[in-house]
Amino acid sequence: MGSSTFRDDGAKALDWAASYLERVGELPVLAQVEPGEIRARLPEAPPERGEPFDAVLRDLDEVLLDGITHWQSPRFFSYFAVTASEPGILAELLIAAMNSVGIAWRASPALTELEEVTLDWVAHLLGLPRGWHGHIEDTASISTIAALAAARGAKPGHRIVVASEQAHSSVAKAARLLELELREAPVDDEFRLRPDAVDLTAVCAVVATVGTTSTTSVDPVPELAARCREAGVWLHVDAAYAGAAWICPEFAWSREGLEHADSVLVNAHKWLLVPMDCSCLWTRRPDAFRHAFSLVPDYLRTPEQREVTTLSDYGPALGRRFRALKLWAVLRCYGREGLQERIREAVRLASVFEEWVRDDSDWELSAPRPFSVVCFRLRGADAANDELVERVNRTGEIFISPTKLSGRTVLRLAVGNARTTEDDIRRAWDVLRREAAALQTA
Amino acid sequence: MGSSTFRDDGAKALDWAASYLERVGELPVLAQVEPGEIRARLPEAPPERGEPFDAVLRDLDEVLLDGITHWQSPRFFSYFAVTASEPGILAELLIAAMNSVGIAWRASPALTELEEVTLDWVAHLLGLPRGWHGHIEDTASISTIAALAAARGAKPGHRIVVASEQAHSSVAKAARLLELELREAPVDDEFRLRPDAVDLTAVCAVVATVGTTSTTSVDPVPELAARCREAGVWLHVDAAYAGAAWICPEFAWSREGLEHADSVLVNAHKWLLVPMDCSCLWTRRPDAFRHAFSLVPDYLRTPEQREVTTLSDYGPALGRRFRALKLWAVLRCYGREGLQERIREAVRLASVFEEWVRDDSDWELSAPRPFSVVCFRLRGADAANDELVERVNRTGEIFISPTKLSGRTVLRLAVGNARTTEDDIRRAWDVLRREAAALQTA
């Protein structure tokens, strides 16, 4: 593909992306396709000869788009709602154009050094302890594996990890990979880990969650940190979603005790406007990470090695993309104020929705709402709530995901997309009440 | 950022990317900066208020570019040379614009189904065994962790992994993470694992490499497969680099025996024109992967679950980007013929260079050249070769990386960037001879 073709095709791709973002609010949020439907509409065999780039855009329009669930929609309220902001999107274009592969400092010095600088910047914005070492992994799953591998190595013979029964599934998955035993601790009536129920015998790590997936509850980090410190146990804080809120002083309460933890992760691709993937991981104990991961083969040894950071020393992968550039672009283009504004607006919208639920006797709130996720349900049977989720998602107007709390089905409205307005929240409430009414007459 | 701003900023970002690709051949291939230099030129603290996207492009031009080692340069001959092709780059823009996060089938059905289709397409193109299950991980490091975790679970109590002493460092790193013992097997005089030297007692997996990092040697997969099969040991084939060559019938010899392996990885971001990151992993035994990784929490359970593929069942991460789209774009725009052409040209250029080395008595070849990497050295002391590498890299004209073979310093010329021409190879040879002469008179 020659240079002029790249400019022409690029203009088309950019137009496609811009048009997509302009109309994403009108598309069905949840893809309305059956399993296997997209696959069946694609050719079975690859082409023998190349086709113009237009063919890719045509595939998107004619086949793939029907199978896309639109995470960029202002009415995406499922899981944790996220945003790929415009500066972040354009940074991905630049990252791909340069295609830096960070397998060693000299393989791209700016990649390594910008990753250090941006992680320091985010640490500064979120009020993390000074001097911790930060780096980027792709997802919270891998960040958690990295942290628990460091913890395992730091406490030989101790093979138990403690986390609350509300901790993310990635903790259980990491424990399985690392052959650690996960001990699930019970929670109080606000879904927070109960430190009094934790036994630290044979434990190598405790995972505290700030912003659990189901309810965004906040585990008592100060108490856990004190107990871990006394017992010499690693405390890892999973703040994948809610850590972003630390940029606002009014959420500093949820960061308390962090200075006594050993590691913390915050996903910039969740609530900090960075496109997937960008999981930020900081640690007070970089030596333990290096002990777990450092390994430099002959073909990567260089004279400057002792003077520079080798980012693969801190996690399982050798190669890395220039992810720092998209984080940089977002920090540069939003600044502290721009990011604070989006966090606050999401929380405000969630509180508005919460009030509507509270004021309607057909519905009930199912958990406190510390951040931007509302847990609620239709009063009555689980089956009705299960059916309601499927009904509202089939409308394509909104997309929500349910969870289980104390064995019961609970709906979640996760606000977090930067395009979401009060009209979108209102529409969600309208759809929910309309479908609930239809359900009862069905 | 409003929509018109996105179009305007996007046009600037696209122009930056296009101009970059037009002039990348004129930039110093290896970044000519000192450790810490880029960092020192960046602000210590993040901005309070957002700035226009122009600021990011200015940062790139004025600060970051000096610290970029140009993997897109036609004279990048280090590690394994790679290419982010134009369709792949533009696909990354589209991927980021949609920002699909594949944590479940319904979270983006097209993401899951396109990943299955593209992996089937690549399997078809590379002549892999029919019916294997394929998925994408970010890097070969993670693919290897996934494969060895599956192998570990399939053979309880067996804790040894065998790989040749020429295997990639990611095998040792994965073994460490999984607490498996790596037993390094010796190689023959062409750097191929010696199957006669392999003892399979207590072994859960053998890793055979097709295209080792230092010399691209090919381990004897048929013999290893036969022995593994007999002993019930998992055979994982690391074809991260050379697997791409299987698209050409003349390299089918290096795929022999694969049908009896249990898993194989090929990095599409190496020699298949896809931007980082896209490591393709196939297995004959998807059940063993699911056994190692499947874990679906309440908040991800859906009614269609039994009918669909859950890609996180096959590796350590829950979330995934829509990487399949960039692989799709490359396959669509190059077709089998376009990809074959690039593989063959890289091999041809390497063979031309190899002949020049062979014909010059000041130099010697250090290993056979099955694909597109030439291993060679200046006759004489290691110190001279070590110094030569640093000298040629400091010119910025080419970038090569050395390795150690049988304890001696060896230079590698890795051809693989799609922009590389015979002129670039000629220039590499000129620079090497010029700097070698200067070294001898210095």
> From CA B241, how far away is CA B388, in angstroms rounded?
26
pLDDT of residue B245: 98
CA-based nearest residue to B191, from B347, B404, B413, B409: B404
**Type of residue numbered B74:** P
> From CA A95, how far away is CA A88, in angstroms rounded?
10
Q: Helix (H, G, I), strand (E, B), or coil: what is residue A170?
A: helix
> From CA A179, how far away is CA A159, in angstroms rounded?
8
Residue of A nearest to B324 (CA): A64
Residues of chain A with Cβ-Cβ distance to B333 below 8 Å are: 1, 50-53, 55-56
Q: What is the distance in angstroms between the CA of the first residue and the CA of the last residue of chain A? A: 57
CA-based nearest residue to B272, from B348, B218, B327, B325: B327
Q: What are the counts of helices (DSSP H) followed by strands (DSSP E) for chain B?
A: 13, 11
At residue B77 the predicted structure's pLDDT band, cuts being 50, 70 and 90, is very high
> From CA A161, how far away is CA B284, in angstroms rounded?
33
- In percent, the amount of chain B with pLDDT more than 70 equals 99
pLDDT in tens, A68-118: 999 999 999 999 999 999 999 999 999 999 999 999 999 999 999 999 999
pLDDT in tens, A30-58: 999 999 999 999 999 999 999 999 999 99
- Dihedral of the alpha carbons of B336, B340, B343, B344, in degrees to the nearest 10: 180
| DSSP string of B274-294, one letter each residue | PPS--EEEEES-HHHHHHHH-
Which of B55, B64, B317 faces A110 most closely, judged by CB atoms? B64
pLDDT of residue A297: 82
Residues of chain A with Cβ-Cβ distance to B169 below 8 Å are: 295-297, 300, 318
**Type of residue numbered B330:** V
Please answer yes or no on whether B308 and A35 come within 8 Å at the CB atom: yes
Residues of chain B with Cβ-Cβ distance to A117 below 8 Å are: 39, 42
At residue A431 the predicted structure's pLDDT band, cuts being 50, 70 and 90, is very high
β-bridge pairing B160-164 and B181-185: parallel
Tokens standing for residue B417: 């960037």
| DSSP string of A125-165, one letter each residue | HHTPPTT-EEEEESSHHHHHHHHHHHHHHHSTT--EEEEET
CA-based nearest residue to A83, from A324, A414, A412: A414
| DSSP string of A377-423, one letter each residue | EESS-HHHHHHHHHHHHHHSS-B-EEEEETTEEEEEEE---TT--HH
Tokens standing for residue A35: 């399993």
Please answer yes or no on whether A108 and B67 come within 8 Å at the CB atom: yes
Domain ranges (residues) in chain B:
101-320
Is the pLDDT at B299 greater than 90? The verdict is no
Helix axes A86-98, B86-98, angle to 10 degrees: 160
Return mean pLDDT, chain A. Answer: 97
Sign of CA dihedral B323, B329, B330, B332: positive
- In percent, the amount of chain B with pLDDT more than 90 equals 96
Residue B35 burial (10 A CB sphere; 0-12, 13-18, 19+): middle
Residue of A nearest to B169 (CA): A297
pLDDT of residue B2: 56
SS3 string, A339-363, reads: HHHHHHHHHHHHHHHHHHHHCCCCE
Determine which of A274, A279, A298 to mutate to test the interface with B (most B C-beta atoms within 10 Å): A298
CATH node for B101-320: 3.40.640.10
Is the pLDDT at A62 greater than 70? The verdict is yes
pLDDT in tens, B133-174: 999 999 999 999 999 999 999 999 999 999 999 999 999 999
At residue B396 the predicted structure's pLDDT band, cuts being 50, 70 and 90, is very high
> From CA A317, how far away is CA A385, in angstroms rounded?
42
Does residue B302 come out as left (phi exceeding 0), alpha (psi in the -120 to 50 range) or beta?
beta
Cis ω for the linkage preceding B277 (within 30 of 0):
yes
* Entry pTM: 0.98
Q: What is the distance in angstroms between the CA of the first residue and the CA of the last residue of chain B? A: 57
Tokens standing for residue A270: 């969740």
Interval B299-317 mean pLDDT: 91
- The contacts of residue A225 (CB under 8 Å, 6+ apart) are A235, A257, A258, A260, A261
Which of B50, B121, B336 faces A338 most closely, judged by CB atoms? B50
A441 secondary structure, DSSP code: H
pLDDT in tens, B10-50: 999 999 999 999 999 999 999 999 999 999 999 999 999 99
Tokens standing for residue A170: 């990635």
Interval A328-341 mean pLDDT: 98
What is the distance, to the nearest Å, from the Cα of residue A27 to the centroid of all Cα atoms in its chain?
Answer: 23
Please answer yes or no on whether A96 and B92 come within 8 Å at the CB atom: yes
Q: Helix (H, G, I), strand (E, B), or coil: what is residue A331?
A: helix
Q: Helix (H, G, I), strand (E, B), or coil: what is residue A374?
A: strand
At residue A302 the predicted structure's pLDDT band, cuts being 50, 70 and 90, is confident
CA-based nearest residue to A391, from A379, A399, A382: A399
- Dihedral of the alpha carbons of B156, B158, B162, B167, in degrees to the nearest 10: 50
Q: Helix (H, G, I), strand (E, B), or coil: what is residue B377?
A: strand
In degrees and rounded to multiples of 5, residue B44 shows phi and psi of -75, -35
Is the pLDDT at B261 greater than 80? The verdict is yes
Interval B362-387 mean pLDDT: 98
Is the pLDDT at B4 greater than 80? The verdict is no
Interval A133-155 mean pLDDT: 98
pLDDT of residue B3: 60
Q: Helix (H, G, I), strand (E, B), or coil: what is residue B204?
A: strand
Interval B325-342 mean pLDDT: 98
Residue B388 burial (10 A CB sphere; 0-12, 13-18, 19+): buried
> From CA B271, how far away is CA B418, in angstroms rounded?
9
Which of A17, A22, A138 faces B138 most closely, judged by CB atoms? A138
pLDDT of residue A3: 60
- Sheet containing A133-137: order of strands: A133-137, A279-283, A263-267, A234-238, A203-209, A160-164, A181-185
SS3 string, A257-315, reads: CHHHCCEEEEEHHHHCCCCCCCEEEEECCHHHHHHHHCCCCHHHCCCCHHHCCCHHHHC
Tokens standing for residue B403: 């390795």
CB contact at 8 A, B278 and B322 = no
CA-based nearest residue to A277, from A112, A71, A418: A71
Chain A and chain B share a number of CB contacts under 8 A equal to: 468
Which of B68, B125, B325 faces A98 most closely, judged by CB atoms? B68
Q: Helix (H, G, I), strand (E, B), or coil: what is residue B435?
A: helix
Give the H or E element holding residue A237. Answer: strand A234-238
Determine which of B68, B80, B113 to mutate to test the interface with A (most A C-beta atoms within 10 Å): B113
Residue of B nearest to A43 (CA): B117
At residue B376 the predicted structure's pLDDT band, cuts being 50, 70 and 90, is very high
Is the pLDDT at A2 greater than 70? The verdict is no
Is the pLDDT at B442 greater than 80? The verdict is no
Which of A7, A38, A55 faces B18 most closely, judged by CB atoms? A7
CB contact at 8 A, A400 and A412 = yes
Is the pLDDT at A442 greater than 80? The verdict is no
CB contact at 8 A, A133 and B55 = no
